[in-house]
Structure 1
Amino acid sequence: MTEILRNGTGLAQSSIIAAGVRDEILSGTRRPGERIGQQALAEQYGTSRLPVREALRMLESEGLVTVVSNAGARVSKLELDECVEIYRIREQLDPLLVSLAVPNYTDEDIARLTELERAVAMASNVEEFLSADRTFHVESYRAARSPILFETVERMWNTTQHYRRAYSHLVGDDGLGLNHLEHQLMLAAFRDRDASEARRLLYSHIRRTRRAFTRHPEIFQEA
């Protein structure tokens, strides 16, 4: 990787750095509010600080990093009311996205989504669940062919990733099992190409998590 970074263009270098930091944030290795040192990243990847700064701008556009002039970059952090507001927005946007996608599903799409949901159900720990759950939902949106809406929703997924992790640890197997049941209902709507029912189910799915956050403010106090 170091050789690629040294020989690559500035954009390629920035993309590699952004990918590494993105993985660290989404996996929970870097926690909300944690400072991201530009010099440390430059040394880690064997580059100057210029591609590091560009990488951080990329991650800021994805909602993963907050960059403040003269204060540096930190992993984005949310308060409870901010997370609740994002989920209220998602209650409207995610169902719209899936309702646009459902009529475009091919039989191959349905087969893939079925396999992806099976991976959610078979997850043996929270990290596996989070990865599989995100993939299932994101892939269910792709057929919408609405890139601006898709990117908007994906950004909101990014900014709330840490709090979904904390919530998943809190609810344990019973709570994650309920997710699986809701996914099964969604899959039935997908197979029937019933966009209205898929939209209704996804709205309830997201709303349930949003309401759970309000019952557990400690998730945000501990972040």
Structure 2
Amino acid sequence: MTDTSVTRDTAYRDNVASHRIAESLRREILGGALAPGTRLRQEDLAERFGASRIPAREAIRMLAADGLVTLVANSGAWVSRLSLEECVEAYSIRERLEPLLLRRSLEHLSVEQLDRLAELADGMEANTDVDAFMADDREFHLLSYAGAATGELWQIIHRLWNTTQHYRRAYATLVGVTGIGVTHLEHHLLVDCLRRGDPDDAERVLVTHIRRTRLELVKHPELFASDA
């Protein structure tokens, strides 16, 4: 085997390993197993996943690009955390941008996607498990945007969803899934708007939906002070 072949083979293995590590950490962060403020050390990740530090470093960079990890120059990497003020700002941006993305998506959603949205709305209302609710809620909203092109707007919103995920879970855990009945109503209203092909109504419902969560989070600053 030539030196060039060896180099290509090593690069391929490192690329596969970096994606494997990143995907595992992504699930843990979004699933709540890795709390905001948790430090991620390349050497620890390399040992844990049986890889070298190169793919571990690349995995951290990939997660940073997704907003899940914060890199500090000459210091290290941590699972991203937000102050209350930063979370409020993120939600304020979402209030402005997500209705636009929903409008772009609406006319391109298939019947199958609309049926899946309705199924998710029903499932969230019937299920009292927080983890199941969080997974379905995330799928619901990101699926509602699936008809839009995955350009810069989609990437910005996806990143904001990632950085605020922990705080949505903390709030849902605090009040319980049964304590957010109005959320379920708004999900059903969104499905109705999308089925009717009414972008104006859909935007109004979504703005209210996002804003209400922002205002509820403001009432619970302890959710931010207790980060790991």
Q: Secondary structure at the match of 2:35?
A: coil
Cα contact 1:142–1:150 (8 A) shared by 2? no
Count of residue correspondences: 218
The code of the aligned residue for 1:99 comes to R
Cα contact 2:117–2:140 (8 A) shared by 1? yes
The code of the aligned residue for 1:29 comes to A
Q: Deviations over 1:81-121 (max 9, x none)?
A: 00000000000111111111112222222112112222222
Q: Secondary structure at the match of 2:99?
A: helix
**Residues 1:118 and 2:122 aligned together:** yes
* The 10-residue stretch of structure 1 (102-111 or 86-95) with the greater mean CA deviation from structure 2: 102-111
Structure 2 residue aligned with 1:50: 54
Q: Please list every run of 5 or more consecutive structure 2 residues that lacks an aligned counterpart in the other structure.
A: 1-9
Q: Secondary structure at the match of 1:143?
A: coil
TM-score (norm 1): 0.93
CA RMSD of the aligned region, Å? 1.5
TM-score (norm 2): 0.91
* The 10-residue stretch of structure 1 (171-180 or 196-205) with the greater mean CA deviation from structure 2: 171-180
**Residues 1:201 and 2:205 aligned together:** yes
Structure 1 residue aligned with 2:219: 215
Q: Which has the larger radius of gyration?
A: 2
* The 10-residue stretch of structure 1 (151-160 or 167-176) with the greater mean CA deviation from structure 2: 167-176
**Residues 1:93 and 2:124 aligned together:** no
Q: What is the Cα deviation at residue 199 of structure 1?
A: 0.7
Find the aligned partners of 2:24 and 2:180 in 1 and give their Cα distance: 28
Q: Please list every run of 5 or more consecutive structure 1 residues that lacks an aligned counterpart in the other structure.
A: 1-5
Q: Deviations over 1:127-147 (max 9, x none)?
A: 110000000000000101242
Q: What is the Cα deviation at residue 7 of structure 1?
A: 9.9
1:137-216 alignment, distance < 5 Å: 137-216=141-220
The code of the aligned residue for 1:167 comes to Y
For the structure 1 residues 8 and 124, does the alpha-carbon distance in structure 2 shift closer, same or farther, using more than 3 Å as the test? farther
Once the two structures are aligned, what percentage of the paired residues are identical?
Answer: 46
The code of the aligned residue for 1:77 comes to R
Structure 1 residue aligned with 2:109: 105
Which residue among 80, 84, 89 is the counterpart of 1:80?
Answer: 84
Find the aligned partners of 1:8 and 1:119 in 2 and give their Cα distance: 41
- Segments of 4+ moved more than 3 angstroms: none
